[in-house]
Amino acid sequence: MGDISITARTWEDFLPKAEYESLYADGQEQVLYVLTKSASKKKRKTLGFRIKINPDTRQLGTISEFDFDQHAVENMGFKIKSGLKVSAITRHPVSRAWYILSSAEKLLVVADPEWKIQSVYELDGSTFNQPEGIAFDRDLNLYISNEGDEISNGNILKFKPQKSDKQTN
């Protein structure tokens, strides 16, 4: 194999001190979306940041803050023991809905483009050992990856869209 030249940049201290596990890069909009893993216990809101990238300089530009309310998940009948603890996010390529994974709570949360929670799906712990990654491909297949541990191997699960999903989502 030949040498691969990679240019990497490091940005420090541009986001508040917190634990971050989820990042979504929107190449079309030239924006990065980052969600905090933990929410404030009293407010039960997950904090997020929208970071605009300057396409000419490839530098980070405007940073705006947003949040989504975890109470909406609980209002849909799902008990959140220790906070949602977001482990990964992605965006549906057509509907632009957000797909948010919580490994700790074994939940898949779907929110509209403005981060209003629309639906919640419980993930079976025997199938979803530790869901930590999520992505769509160009055919609208959804992939969820699970970390392995001492007992089970990691894996990637593929979910094909239903016909109505391809047409409307």
For 51-94, how does the pLDDT look when each residue is reduced to its tens digit (9 = 90+)? 999 888 878 888 899 988 888 999 999 988 878 899 999 999 99
- Burial tier of 36 (Cβ tally within 10 Å: 0-12, 13-18, 19+): buried
**Selected residue with higher pLDDT from 158 and 163:** 158
For 92-133, how does the pLDDT look when each residue is reduced to its tens digit (9 = 90+)? 999 999 999 999 999 999 999 999 999 999 999 889 999 999
Amino acid 168: pLDDT: 47
Structure tokens at 112: 């509209």
Dist CA 41 CA 24 (whole Å): 25
CA nearest neighbour of 73 among 94, 51, 104: 104
- Burial tier of 109 (Cβ tally within 10 Å: 0-12, 13-18, 19+): buried
Dist CA 94 CA 23 (whole Å): 19
